[in-house]
Amino acid sequence: MSEGDIVRDETNLRLLASAWRQAKDVEKALGAWQALALHTQAAADWRAYGQLAYAWGDEGQAKQAFARASALGDDEAEQWLAHFD
């Protein structure tokens, strides 16, 4: 993607994020999910990114992701944010 060989669109970002998650490469998976959420600005993608970060013990990224999802109207993200209070 960085070299322009692959189009940076939602489909490819989602495939990349899923692949890194399945490979259990925490740093690359979280980075890919964040890139996807930034690209789509979809509450569900921010929540998925937050859930993954939370599951892998990165509470800072999780809280930020859930806050963004909540700001976009995701009620489920509100429930996740309650874990940090």
Which helix (H) or strand (E) is 7 found in, with range?
A: none
- Residue spans of alpha helices (H) in 1-85: 10-23, 26-40, 43-55, 59-71, 75-81
> Has residue 3 been placed in a domain?
no
The torsion defined by the Cα of 42, 55, 1 and 7, in degrees rounded to 10, comes to -30
Residue 84: per-residue pLDDT? 84
The answer to whether position 71 is within a domain reads yes
Q: Given the structure tokens 């998650």, which residue do they identify?
A: 21
Residue 84 half-sphere exposure toward CB, CA atoms < 13 A: 19
pLDDT in tens, the chain (85 residues): 455 556 779 999 999 999 999 999 999 999 999 999 999 999 999 999 999 999 999 999 999 999 999 999 999 999 999 988 7
Residue 17, in any domain of the structure: yes
Q: Is residue 2 part of a domain?
A: no
Considering the entire predicted model, what is its pTM?
0.88
* The pLDDT value given to residue 83: 86
Look at the chain and report how many structural domains it folds into. 1
Cβ distance 76 to 44 under 8 Å?
no
CATH number for the domain harbouring residue 20? 1.25.40.10
